[in-house]
């Protein structure tokens, strides 16, 4: 099906490890089964001899792309969380048909799955890298993996909404669905054009709290939270950080004191997610908490860059307009 290899050249890891995938389309005319196809993903070169036919999803971020391209029927198994709130009825029906391997996650929302379970599905493509199942592990058994570019380890490139359109095009190359990608991107751009322009700037922070006690994470300029907040009329109080996500203390949050808090979570009760922050000693001093300007939001409505981030932007604008 394919050949896969990871480059050890440091320069390649720096230049190709972030941003939308680089696609080599020199092997044929665009839109006409351009295989073999090579693209660079998280510093690794992945080559496909034909469009994948057995896909395993380890993260939900790719679902909106696959649905738009009409290839959800290629997904033979899935793992992780797929909250119904993300999807329209047609997409939910497609997901419900796909066998679930496991939805077990740790307290940070990271999927816990063994390589044996994934390998037993005999996939010709895995979408999404998880902590205990790396690209190299799958490469050793000749299974290619693609990760969302914004989630590549060590990336510091600031994402934009244009990355969504480029990622749609990249998946279209992999699955040979270029006309469908053109239509989908056109629709997404039309939606972006209709979002009201903010009248005034306020400050905000996007956090990922640990329900039940533990670390609180914040999102900096290398996360999709940055352009999303900007488009919604907010200044990210952690925008001076070039990291994607990092630990923060309540003291640091109090020092930056945002007008609005957006609390990301993978699943579960939104009220519990909200209490994980508002219940902290001293949290009542935060302007966002005191004014009730707190919005729990499912993770993929902000991260990574995908059509769901446009849904999330619309929700933020509607909530805080």
Which residue did the predictor score with more confidence, 22 or 226? 226
Average pLDDT of the residues of the chain: 88
Q: Which helix (H) or strand (E) holds 189?
A: helix 178-194
Its pTM stands at 0.84
Q: What pLDDT shows up at residue 109?
A: 67
Residue 201: band (very low, low, confident or very high) from pLDDT cuts 50, 70, 90: confident
Where b means 16+ CB within 10 Å and e means fewer, 24-49 reads: eeeeeeeeeebbebbbbbbbbbbbbe
Model confidence pLDDT, tens digit, residues 88-140: 999 999 999 999 999 887 766 678 898 899 999 999 999 999 887 889 999 99
Q: Are strands 37-41 and 245-248 parallel, antiparallel or unpaired?
A: unpaired
Q: What are phi and psi of 43, to 5 degrees?
A: 80, 10
Compute φ and ψ for 249, nearest 5 degrees.
Answer: -100, 165
Q: What is the pLDDT of residues 22-60, one digit of tens each?
A: 444 333 334 446 789 999 999 999 999 999 999 999 999
Q: Which domains does the chain have, with CATH numbers?
A: 2-191 (3.40.50.1980), 198-320 (3.40.50.1980)
CA 321/CA 316 separation, integer angstroms? 8
- In angstroms, the CA 288 to CA 298 distance is 19
What gap in Å lies between CA 67 and CA 91, rounded to an integer? 7
Per-residue pLDDT, 154: 79
Q: What is the mean pLDDT of residues 280-303?
A: 96
Element (H, E) at 36: none
What's the whole-number mean pLDDT along residues 232-251? Answer: 95
Q: What's the pLDDT tens digit per position in 152-200?
A: 887 778 899 999 999 999 999 999 999 999 999 999 999 999 998 877 7
Which pLDDT belongs to residue 6? 30
Q: Rg for the chain (alpha carbons), in Å?
A: 20
The angle that helices 162-175 and 178-194 make with each other, rounded to 10 degrees, is 160
CB atoms within 10 A of CB 22: 15
**Quick one: average pLDDT of 304-312?**
96
């Amino acid at each position: 099906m394919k050949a896969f290899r990871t480059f050890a050249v440091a320069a390649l890891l720096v230049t190709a490890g972030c941003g939308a995938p680089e696609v080599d389309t020199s092997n044929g005319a665009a839109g006409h089964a351009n295989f073999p196809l090579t693209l660079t993903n998280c510093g690794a070169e992945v080559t496909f001899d034909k469009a994948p036919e057995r896909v395993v999803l380890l993260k939900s971020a790719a679902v909106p792309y696959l649905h738009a391209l009409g290839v959800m029927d290629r997904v033979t198994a899935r793992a992780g969380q797929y909250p119904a709130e993300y999807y329209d009825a047609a997409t939910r029906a497609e997901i419900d048909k796909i066998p679930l391997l496991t939805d077990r996650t740790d307290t940070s929302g990271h999927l816990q799955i063994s390589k044996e379970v994934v390998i037993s599905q005999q996939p010709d493509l895995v979408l999404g890298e998880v902590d205990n199942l790396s690209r190299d592990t799958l490469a050793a058994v000749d299974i290619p993996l693609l990760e969302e570019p914004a989630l590549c380890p060590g990336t510091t490139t600031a994402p934009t909404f244009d990355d969504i359109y480029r990622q749609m095009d990249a998946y279209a190359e992999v699955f040979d669905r270029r006309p469908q990608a053109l239509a989908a991107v056109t629709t997404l751009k039309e939606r972006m054009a209709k979002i009201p322009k903010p009248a005034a700037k306020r400050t905000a922070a996007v956090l990922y709290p640990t329900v039940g006690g533990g670390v609180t994470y914040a999102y900096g300029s290398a996360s999709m939270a940055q352009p999303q907040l900007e488009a919604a009329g907010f200044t990210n109080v952690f925008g001076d950080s070039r990291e994607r996500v990092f630990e923060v203390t309540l003291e640091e949050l109090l020092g930056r004191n945002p007008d609005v808090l957006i609390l990301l979570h993978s699943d579960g009760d939104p009220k519990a997610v909200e209490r994980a922050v508002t219940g902290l000693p001293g949290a009542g001093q935060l302007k966002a908490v005191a004014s009730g300007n707190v919005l729990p939001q499912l993770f993929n409505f902000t991260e990574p860059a995908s059509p769901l981030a446009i849904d999330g932007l619309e929700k933020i604008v509607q909530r805080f307009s």
